[in-house]
Amino acid sequence: MNVIPSVNLNDFVSGDAESKQRFIDEIGKAYEEIGFVALSGHFLDSVLVDKLYAEVKNFFDLPIDIKQQYEIPGIGGQRGYVSFGKESAKGKKEGDLKEFWHFGQYVEDNPALEKEYPANVEVKELPEFNKVGKEAYRMLEKTAKYVLRALALHLGLKETYFDNYIHNGNSILRPIHYPPITQEPKDAVRAAAHGDINLITLLMGAQGKGLQVQNHKGEWIDAIAQPDQLMINVGDMLSRHTNNKLKSTIHRVVNPPRELWGTSRYSIPFFMHPISDMKLDVLDKCMDDNNPKQFEDITAGEFLHERLVELGLVKK
């Protein structure tokens, strides 16, 4: 497979049984074969998208000493600002050529989870920044819920199987700025090859070249979405929960050609995480004699902690 398949969420929510089943079949096939789809028909409207990009650019344009005031020690970068070069891919020493921000969950009716999650960080210089970020977070979370409902049906589970696990889940909205490249990078790229930790990732800003996906033959293919599409991929949590039936595909963001070094790139992924006590044990429906259990039992919280240690964001 050398092209990322396109699907339309309107087919799933249309109320037409045939259209709904077509969406389930298309997204299920894509996630078994390449692990990525380009999705239209999501719940983000163009006005909100434009507002979000404007606020994100306003934040990253702030002086570095102001941005660093929002870099909170001791929380593994889970909220607020993470400065340039701090994060590296698993197994890689060089820091990625990016800076980013984290919006986290806005917990409803669950004091225990409110204590578990770090608080969101308010940017006092930009009165609209947090408001717009929260609205985008909610619309991406809603989109992710329906994608997971389709995948539940594809796996032979109850449609709402994931609903209680993702309500108040530990999801993250990450606006990323890849600054202009000012000198020849030694071994660093904008985002080194990696798989995502979470259930699924919804990516805004995959228009134009940069994001690449590794297919089953080990070939790197460009993953380019249309302006109205989100690129959505399977993460490691969902891959191990389904015994690798749904594929968490290695991907990267490569440096642009030299003539475009002077330009910034922005992308905004939403990492859909469940609540930390969700068991990621391999589903019975995904095991048989030909496909024995590949992964040990673990909770989402334990798995996330393991990976944050590997990424250098938290200490053991």
Domain 6-310 bears CATH identifier 3.40.50.2300? no
8: tokens are 């339309």
Q: What pLDDT score was predicted for residue 89?
A: 46
Q: How far is CA 96 from CA 58, 84, 101, 238, 254, in A?
A: 22, 8, 14, 25, 10
CA dihedral 115, 118, 124, 129 (to 10 degrees): -110
Indicate the domain borders of the chain: 6-310
Q: Which two tokens stand for residue 87?
A: 């994060």
Q: Residue 15: what are its φ and ψ, rounded to 5°? A: 90, -5
What phi-psi label fits residue 61: left (phi over 0), alpha (psi between -120 and 50 degrees) or beta?
Answer: alpha
Instruction: Copy the structure tokens of residue 129.
Output: 């920044």
Q: What is the pTM of this model?
A: 0.91
Report the pLDDT value the prediction gives residue 207, as an integer from 0 to 100.
67
Per-residue pLDDT of the chain (316 residues; tens, 9 = 90+): 568 899 999 999 999 999 999 999 999 999 999 999 999 999 999 999 999 999 999 999 999 999 999 999 888 788 999 987 555 445 545 556 789 999 999 999 999 999 989 999 999 999 999 999 999 999 999 999 999 999 999 999 999 999 999 999 999 999 999 887 766 666 655 566 788 999 999 998 766 677 889 887 888 988 888 889 999 999 999 999 999 999 998 988 776 667 677 778 888 999 999 999 999 999 999 999 899 999 999 999 999 988 888 877 777 6
